[in-house]
Amino acid sequence: MPPRLRPGQTLLLASLVFGLFFGAGNLIFPAGLGRDAGAAVTPATLGFLVTAVGLPVLGIVASAVTGARSVREMTAPVSRRFAVAFTCLLYLTIGPLFAIPRTATVSYEIGVAPLAGDGGLRLLGFTAAFFAVAAVAAFRPGRLMEWVGRYLTPAFLVLLGALVAAAVVAPMSTGALPSPAPAYADGAFVRGLLDGYTTMDALASLAFAVVIVDAARRLGVTGPRRMAVELGKAGLLGGAAMAVVYASLAYIGATSHGAFAQAANGGDVLARTASHFFGTAGAYLIAAIVFVACLKTCIGLIVACAEMFAEMFPGSYRLWAGLFLVVSFALANLGLEAIIAWSVPVLRFLYPIAVVVILLGLAWAWVRDRPAVTRWVVACTGLAAFFDLLGALPEALATTPPVTALTGLAGRVLPGYAVGFGWVVPALVGLAVGTVAAASRPRPRRGEREAIPVTAGHGRTAAD
């Protein structure tokens, strides 16, 4: 096995992992969770950590275990068309259609609007400047580890550390925490699991694989076994850092009731907390925290999306990066509420598929000779996840008779559908059917295993 990374290199790779995943949504969601969960903050946070930390780390490891450089290669055993379609939908969701615009709008609404005031022209000017700065880094993808891992992530941790330290040294609440909101009153752990979906990090782990694997190769990592080991170490270290930050933010949210009675969302919780401890300077502190968090994630997403599309379709990396920047800039000016409203249904559909892809990747040694298992599991999961998509549509669509009829049927026949896990039983059924189907076919002999069908890319990647 090739030599292992030095501790400093592992730390740098872990910093990149943390920096790519931890964006603005990762700030506001756990703070809002803590605020709403109140006395149930511990089980809610534990559930959140499972999907917001555990799944992303497993996604990184699964990519390394399979030896796949991208989600397209990981899903190719299902079919070439599915691999391309799923890859496009995943990257567009965590890229220019939802997640990238959200980095700019969250940064503006939480950090800039309280200082400069709200308004369409202000949002337009800020997003133009934000994406211009992101473009400078995104057009130099070879320096991504330096930009994110060496500079932006440490800066973010220092800024956030000041706020967390103040909240721990002088807690805003010293007595019993308030009763949880209705959503967390029963089944706080399960609610936390679903809240972890909103970070999009399980999806991002599949999309960022191309970036993280390339970064590891730049550090000299070669061979699938060594790649799996080194990415596993970096993922666990980066995941541990995320877990500590998430727990700290949930603690801030839970104790914030002692400082202010009302808060609109997690972003408002952080803004009011910063003002509580630091006065006027707190507004500038939270603006800096959110800006750095958003910027580093935005850069990573642009690089990952542009590299993937340059491999799959005609056009250079710079062309795709520029296109995604323009589209993200346009959508960011629609506002945060519109972006979130349409992203949730797509997430509810993609997340179950992403979870089973990650789990199948971890079991690659057994699955690779049994393509029927992969196909049946993904097909059954996708069918069930479609009902989750329908149930999460905006109210005007979700209440139409055809949609209510389908979601009502799903609620009656899919165990766990009401709490967001109606796909679990269908996935297990797919596993059983696929296992039987694979057993009825002769397994390929050693040296004749079915190769992953990967189509050749057309464009140049960032490394070219």
Average pLDDT, the chain: 87
Mean pLDDT for 416-428 is 91
- In this predicted structure, what is the pLDDT of residue 129? 94
pLDDT in tens, 76-114: 888 899 999 999 999 998 889 888 998 898 888 888 888
- In this predicted structure, what is the pLDDT of residue 338? 72
Residue 223 has pLDDT above 80, yes or no: no
- In this predicted structure, what is the pLDDT of residue 144? 73
Residue 381 has pLDDT above 90, yes or no: yes
Fill in the amino acid letter for 458: H
360: confidence class by pLDDT, cuts 50, 70, 90? very high
- In this predicted structure, what is the pLDDT of residue 336? 64
pTM, whole model, 2 decimals?
Answer: 0.83
- In this predicted structure, what is the pLDDT of residue 445? 57
Domain residue ranges of the chain, discontinuous segments joined by +: 7-333, 345-442
| Cα separation values, 109 from 105, 117, 307, 336, Å | 6, 9, 30, 8
Fill in the amino acid letter for 373: V
- In this predicted structure, what is the pLDDT of residue 455? 40
pLDDT in tens, 128-172: 999 999 999 899 877 777 778 778 889 888 999 999 999 999 999
| pLDDT-wise least confident of 19-23, 91-95, 423-427 | 19-23
As its CATH architecture, domain 7-333 has Up-down Bundle (1.20)
List of residues 6+ apart from 361 with CB closer than 8 A: 59, 62, 63, 65, 66, 68, 74
- In this predicted structure, what is the pLDDT of residue 444? 58
Query: How far is residue 172's CA from residue 256's CA, in Å, rounded to a whole number?
Result: 6
pLDDT in tens, 168-207: 999 998 888 999 999 999 889 999 988 887 787 888 888 8
Pair 302, 295: CB distance under 8 Å: no
| Residue whose C-alpha is closest to residue 430's, from 365, 366, 362, 360 | 360
What's the burial of 279, exposed, middle or buried (CB within 10 Å: 0-12/13-18/19+)?
Answer: exposed
Mean pLDDT for 322-331 is 94
pLDDT in tens, 249-282: 999 999 999 999 888 888 889 989 999 999 989 9
Task: Quote the tokens at residue 248.
Answer: 């700290």
- In this predicted structure, what is the pLDDT of residue 450? 45
